[in-house]
Chains A and B, each alone.
Chain A
Amino acid sequence: MLNYTIRRLLFAIGVIWAVYTVTFCLAHIEVLTPLVNTVESWRGIPEKEWTKLGLADPVRLKMGQHGDVNTIERIREELGLNDPLFLNLRAFRTGSIVSPATWQQFFTDQRYKTQYFRHFCNALFDQDLGKTIRTREDVAEIIWRGAKVTVQLAAAGIVLAMAMGLVLGILSAVYQNTWIDHFCMFWAIVGISAPVYLVGLMMIMFFINWLRLIPGLGMEESLLPYLTIDVPWFLIPPGWTIEFQLPTYLVLPALALGVRPGAALARMMRTTMLEVIRQDYVRTARAKGLDEFTVIIKHAARNALIPVVTVLGLELAGLLTGAILTETVFSLPGLGYQSWQALKDLDFSLIMGTVLFVSVIYVMANLLVDLSYALLDPRIRYS
């Protein structure tokens, strides 16, 4: 088991690196500053056409419609955007190829004078994700800010999805082919098919505009109802209060986000439950004279959980991507909104930081799911 865990961890690191690199390439396809600063041009080989490919420039975007070549150039230089992406061969221009000093210079150049290795090494060794191009804020801080919202949202979404999925799935399996089953499965189909955007807008219309149950959109503080909890005086020092800010901003987005995975879970749960219910051990449990509730919940439902956990792990990716749309509809400042903004502004450090963060979360979640199989089912043991 330990062996397996270590192997999986190493593999996870590899996956994260690969995701990082591929995203880096994709993000920079649009800007193609030279991949390598060529020694060839110096050796007399004509300059290649692709150096002219640079299509979009974040600094240019900052300038508005009235830019100025000199200023753009200066800002680009300042932000290190003029450095080659992957390989810096500056050391070999003047230095000899056999001298160790040249090689040392070469390695230092890769670390500090290429965009890819600089960013990657800074993230790895200094835990520094850099500053955004557009707003000069610390990327790590922005991601932390967004992650708080998105994790809250995803957590609430997954809890709702599980509650909804398990209850509907068990109900429809137990009352198979009755109107309860048909009712539950009808809504499960609707839930799977309806896009988040549509569900979100309909919810806004229904719960906010018509019923006025939720005061408004977004994490606006003044719109959130407060609860002050009366804590006995001996529990907190005098002069302190504990307030509970009801997260009403989370209710609708979590619902909208949870509907799809919830519906998928319900269908999965129903199928596995139907299988399990017909097993011998369930019959034995009934024969022992246990009441039906105990049989269903304790003996059947638990054993039906394993495939469901797999689906849950896969749905996590759906939750994170779904969060992008959900956050936009409900005006929540999470990772989704941020990465959308970053893509619009071509803010590479923010894009890369977010990708790194999300891939770590996703890979780790998958790892946890795989490991939890072993815990849930003694028959599965990795060696």
Chain B
Amino acid sequence: MTGSSRRVFFSILVLLGFTSIGCCVRVSKTSDIEDLKARLAKAEQRADTIESSIKVNERVAALEARIAELSRAGAQPPASGQQSAAVAVALPAVPAQGSAAATPIAEHPERRGGEYRQGIGTDPPSLDPAHISDTTSDRVGLCMFEGLVEFNEEDLGLQPCIAKSWETSPDGTVFTFKLRDDVKFHNGKLVTADDFVYSFARLLEPKTASERTWLMEEVLGYKPFAALLAARGQLKFVAEGQFEKVEADKVHDGLLKLRDVKQEELEKCGAPDPKGLAAAAAKALAKMETIEKAVDKGRAELAKVPVEPELLKSLENLKLWDFISKGLVAPDKTTLRITLGRPFAPFLTILAMRNAAVVPKEEAEKWGDQFSQHPVGTGPFKFVKWDHAVAVELEAFDDYFLGRPFVDKMKFRVLPDDVARLNEFEIGNIESMNEIPDEKYEAIKANPNFPGVIDEMETLSTYYIGFNVTKKPFDNPLIRQAFNCATRKDTILNVIRRGRGSLANGVLPPGMVGYNKELKGYNYDKQRALDLLKQAGYPDPSKLGEIEFWYNATSANDPNAKLAEVIQQNLREIGVTTKLQSTDWATYIKKVDRGELGLFRMAWVADYPDADNFLYILFHSSMKGEGGNYAFYSNPKVDALLEKGRRTVDPKARVPLYQEAEKIIVEEAPWVFLYHAKQAFLHKNYVKGVKLTAMGPDAIRMRTVWLDKSMMKTK
């Protein structure tokens, strides 16, 4: 080796060494006393967690000496004293109309303190309420964001949160909320009704590109706005010659919505120049009808459709706020009035979702689409830092309006691997986790020495196998019923879920208002299945041919793969052959959306505890495809019942409507109704105050959770 090569080799090695060392060294300024104190606390905590920590103890001693030195030198007294004085002003409970108030967190000095660490499976995609659309984000968001109302932990009824009380007009379209005047954002600003108006409008604003626009779409004025906007988009494509973007189903959808735009409604919502807009809408409607006909013949026909520039111009200035200014009103700082275009019974319940949380206007506007990285809300915990794919760190919000939560720090650690996560739990590096690997469940249950407790609860969820009722041979209800009778649901529940859950008779899970105990579902009955097939014209079931059963799976070990095998076996027993097909979720959901799959597995978990969230989304004909009606089921009678259920204000009157609709659905069997699943929450025995609800472990409220330090020592 020559001299120069030695140098090159050495420098490469040294460089590699430096990169690894460089990432570990931190040079930091530590002159002010608060910082030192924080570090001291951190060091002490570390001394607790790491047993072999002689060096850390030394460091703690050094830090203590440093602090003493600095305070002698006359540094500023720590500001934490003032802060705790502010906490001491406990906030009184405010009674609310209609239901029990949110109970303030009682003073329990002995429960204070500690760090609560949870294991989560992925880095949360978003911490912006407008973009939270998955359970992991929702779980973190729950600690930081709150809205007008929330679910109570007993029966998931509504209880006030930031709203003190509310009134609903008799026709169910106007909601007037009285807000508390003592709720602060994490940045110190008081929450006013204007913030709510801003937050709700933000969901609707096209620029926000929120995934959850549907929460607010019944607000007066939004529907015509959305219809005109969509029509403008399609017309522009035609005018500019971008024919490949014009799609038949989108045109049809836009057309239906445009038909609902009436001059009276435009006048009611206070849109500027309602007459002109209504005329433009009528013209656009006529044009869209021509476009639809042209598309049906083939896109080449589109070139023959002239789109007048005047028409586009009349639709040019569509501003969201012009349309919804009468729908979302804040008459004064503590009053919020929401007007809906028509009665929408689940609206109050929807307001308890995370997406309807309040965000401060100035912060949201400052950060734009980066608000997710700097979230500010009103919840019991405030955002500290987000070390992407490592952890999200929150700390107790001292000015929380119900009193400071017990736990000082809340940490969500990202541990993608199931086994690794369970391992971290076992050695005591996290306090709780939600998803227990199925194959580990029994081992944990059987092990008396396992360092953790499993809480379980049946959640509002329904697992099912869907038929595409527009595809042969599943357009025949008799065959669908036969498949229902041929499926051994209990085997599936036992094999896949280790018996955790209950068998489904219909769509609605027990615990949901409207659940029908008397509903007769389909039990396993091989003879009946064969009879039904005979009635359907298949005395020899093998004439059905090979049927494809689709599922999504990531590995051969996936529970869905096991489900598929059981189904295949069950159908073989009645003489039907199936071919198992699997893909990844992304492709799968798209195939299901388009109705390409005849027989597929799926599950639905409640967004909000209302029968509407199940039946309307899963079976209303307007929800076909992307909307959630993957069976492409359509029955005018069911549509009418579900529509009526949405528009009926009296909760008691709604129940029979939904039960009747469900009965028809079960009879026509667009699904094989499988089971309602239990979900587990695994936590350490020193974690106290956990309340599991039917909304699942992701919806556990962390403000009253505390850590029993006496039990921690003896772990």
Binding site for B on A (CB under 8 A): 30, 34, 37-38, 41-47, 51, 54-58, 60-75, 77-79, 82, 84, 90, 93-94, 131, 134-137, 142, 145-146, 148, 151-152, 155-156, 158-159, 201, 204, 208-209, 212, 215-223, 225-228, 236, 238-247, 250, 302, 305, 328-331, 333, 337-338, 341, 344-346, 372, 375-376, 378
Q: Is B472 an interface residue (CB 8 A)?
A: no
Residue among A44, A55, A60 with max Cβ neighbours from chain B (10 Å): A55
Set B17, B133, B415: member contacting A64, Cβ < 8 A: B133
Report the Cα distance A238→B590, complex, angstroms.
62
The reply to whether B243 and A42 contact each other, CB–CB distance below 8 Å, is yes
Q: Write the nearest CB–CB distance from B290 to chain A, whole angstroms.
A: 17
With beta carbons under 8 angstroms apart, the residue of A67, A134, A226, A239 that contacts B125 is A134
A42-B1 CB under 8 A given contacts A47-B298, A54-B590, A225-B56? no
Given contacts A64-B211, A226-B59, contact A220 B391 (CB under 8 A): yes
Contact, CB under 8 Å: B370 / A136: yes
Complexed CA–CA distance, A161 and B253 (Å)? 61
**How many whole Å from A202's CB to the nearest CB in chain B?**
12
Residues of B within 8 A of A65 (CB): 589, 602, 604, 628
Q: A62-B125, A63-B626, A69-B253 are in contact. List 4 more A-B contacts (CB 8 A).
A: A73-B230, A137-B373, A333-B414, A375-B4
Given contacts A222-B49, A225-B53, contact A37 B25 (CB under 8 A): no
For A347, the closest partner residue in chain B by CB is B125
Task: Please measure, in the bound complex, the distance between the C-alpha atom of A376 and the C-alpha atom of B126, giving whole angstroms.
Answer: 51
Please choose the segment from B422-430, B571-579, B653-661, B701-709 that sits at the chain A interface, where 4 or more of its residues have CB less than 8 A away: B422-430
Docked complex: B48-73 residues within 8 A CB-CB of A: 49-51, 53, 55-56, 59, 62
Chain A residues near B19 (CB-CB < 8 A): 151-152, 155
Minimal beta-carbon separation of A300 from chain B (angstroms): 12
Q: Check A60 against B2 for contact (C-beta < 8 Å).
A: no
User: Which of B211, B244, B390, B417 is in CB contact (< 8 Å) with A71?
Assistant: B211
Task: Indicate if the CB atoms of A375 and B8 lie closer than 8 Å.
Answer: yes
Contact B300 A41 (CB under 8 A): yes
- Identify the closest chain A residue to B234 (Cβ): A73
- Contact partners of A57 in chain B: CB under 8 A: 586, 590
Chain A residues with CB under 8 A of B242: 37, 90
**Is A245 a contact partner of B586 (Cβ separation < 8 A)?**
no
**A240-B27 CB under 8 A given contacts A41-B244, A220-B390:** yes
Q: Contacts of B585 on A, CB cut-off 8 Å? A: 61, 344
In the complex, which residues of chain B have a beta carbon less than 8 angstroms from the beta carbon of A218? 390, 413-415, 420, 424
- Note all chain A residues with C-beta closer than 8 A to B131: 62, 136
Contact B420 A217 (CB under 8 A): yes
Interface residues of B in 15-31 (CB under 8 A from A): 16-17, 19-20, 23-31
Interchain nearest-CB distance for B32 vs A (Å): 9
Complex interface: chain A residues within 8 A of B303 (CB): 42
16 contacts between A and B (CB under 8 A): A46-B298, A56-B587, A60-B590, A60-B626, A62-B211, A67-B593, A69-B625, A78-B209, A90-B240, A146-B389, A204-B420, A216-B429, A218-B413, A226-B55, A245-B26, A333-B123
Shortest beta-carbon distance, B509 to chain A, in Å?
A: 16
Q: Which residues of B contact A219 (CB under 8 A)?
A: 387, 390
Interface 1/0 per residue, B217-243 and A, CB below 8 Å: 000000000100110010000001111
Out of B8, B31, B50, name the residue touching A225 (CB < 8 Å): B50
A69 in contact with B250 (CB, 8 Å): yes
Q: Which chain B residues border A94 with CB–CB below 8 Å?
A: 241
Contact with A along B400-417 (1 / 0, CB 8 A): 000000000000011111
- Picked from A77, A247, A328, the residue with its CB within 8 Å of the CB of B20 is A247
Q: Name the CB-closest residue of A to B368.
A: A136
CA distance A112 to B226 in the complex (A): 27
Taking a contact as CB atoms under 8 Å apart, the answer to whether B627 and A244 are in contact is no
Could you say which residues of chain B place their CB within 8 Å of the CB of A226?
43, 46, 55-56, 59
* Chain A neighbourhood of B426, CB < 8 A: 209
For residues 230 through 280 of chain B, which have their beta carbon under 8 Å from a beta carbon of chain A? 230, 233, 240-245, 249-250, 253-254
Q: For B70, give the chain A residue with the smallest CB separation.
A: A239
Determine if A328 and B417 form an interchain contact, defined as CB atoms under 8 angstroms apart: yes
Known: A71-B213, A90-B240, A333-B388. A66 touches B417 (CB 8 A): no
Ranked nearest first, the 10 interchain pairs of A and B with the lowest CB-CB distance are A333-B389, A239-B31, A67-B626, A56-B586, A375-B5, A155-B16, A216-B429, A93-B241, A136-B369, A66-B628
A42 partner residues in chain B, CB cutoff 8 A = 241, 243, 300, 302-303
The residue of chain A having its C-beta at the shortest distance from the C-beta of B629 within the complex is A66
| Choice from A137, A209, A305, A345 contacting B1 with Cβ under 8 Å | A305
Q: How many residues of B contact A (CB 8 A)?
A: 105
| A41, closest chain B residue (CB) | B299
Q: Who on chain B is nearest to A145 by CB?
A: B388
Q: Which residues of B contact A (CB under 8 A)?
A: 1-2, 4-5, 8-9, 13, 16-17, 19-20, 23-31, 42-43, 45-46, 49-51, 53, 55-56, 59, 62, 115, 122-123, 125-126, 131, 133-134, 206-207, 209-211, 213-214, 226, 229-230, 233, 240-245, 249-250, 253-254, 298-300, 302-303, 369-370, 372-373, 387-391, 413-417, 419-421, 423-424, 426-427, 429, 584-587, 589-591, 593, 602, 604, 607, 617, 623, 625-628
Flag if A70 contacts B241 (CB, 8 Å).
no
CB pair A66 B214 closer than 8 Å: yes
A65 to chain B, nearest CB (A): 6
CA distance A208 to B243 in the complex (A): 60
User: Taking CB as reference atom, which chain B residue is nearest A372?
Assistant: B8
**Alpha-carbon distance between A142 and B240 when the two chains are bound, in angstroms:** 37
Query: Contact at B589–A60, with CB atoms within 8 Å?
Result: yes
Residues from chain A with Cβ under 8 Å of B299 in the complex: 41, 47
- Whether B423 and A209, one on each chain, are in contact in the complex, defined by CB atoms closer than 8 angstroms, is yes
Choice from A38, A62, A136, A378 contacting B133 with Cβ under 8 Å = A62
* Residue numbers in A under 8 Å from B589 (CB-CB): 56, 60-61, 65
Q: Nearest Cβ distance between residue A314 and chain B, in whole angstroms? A: 17
Contact indicator A67/B298 (Cβ below 8 Å): no
Given known A68-B213, A69-B249, contact A331–B388 (CB-CB < 8 A): no
Smallest Cβ distance from A48 to chain B, in angstroms? 10
Q: How far is the CB of B144 from chain A (nearest CB, A)?
A: 17
Q: Is the CB of A215 within 8 A of B50?
A: yes
Whether A243 and B607, one on each chain, are in contact in the complex, defined by CB atoms closer than 8 angstroms, is no
User: Quick check: B587 and A331 within 8 Å, CB to CB?
Assistant: no
A51 CB to closest chain B CB, in angstroms?
A: 6
Q: Is the CB of B16 within 8 A of A90?
A: no
Nearest chain-A residue to B295 (Cβ)? A47
Q: How far is the CB of A240 from chain B (nearest CB, A)?
A: 6
Known contacts A60-B593, A137-B373, A216-B429; is-contact A331 B628 (Cβ 8 Å): no
A97 to chain B, nearest CB (A): 15
Chain A proximity of B547: nearest CB distance (Å)? 22
**Which of B25, B62, B240, B244: most chain A Cβ within 10 A?**
B244
A142 touches B388 (CB 8 A): yes
Measured CA separation A30–B249 after assembly (Å): 21
The answer for the CA separation of A70 and B370 in the assembled complex, in Å, is 24
- Residue from A37, A78, A239 in contact with B29 in the complex, judged by beta carbons closer than 8 Å: A239
Select one of B5, B369, B414, B417 contacting A329, CB under 8 A: B417
When distances are taken between beta carbons in the complex, the residues of chain A under 8 Å from B593 are: 60, 67
Name A378's contact: one of B2, B26, B42, B602 (CB within 8 Å): B2
* CB–CB B13/A159 < 8 A: yes
B207 — which chain A residues lie within 8 A by C-beta?
78
Residues of B within 8 A of A90 (CB): 240-242
Given A136-B372, A152-B20, A250-B20, does the pair A43, B300 have CB atoms closer than 8 Å?
A: yes
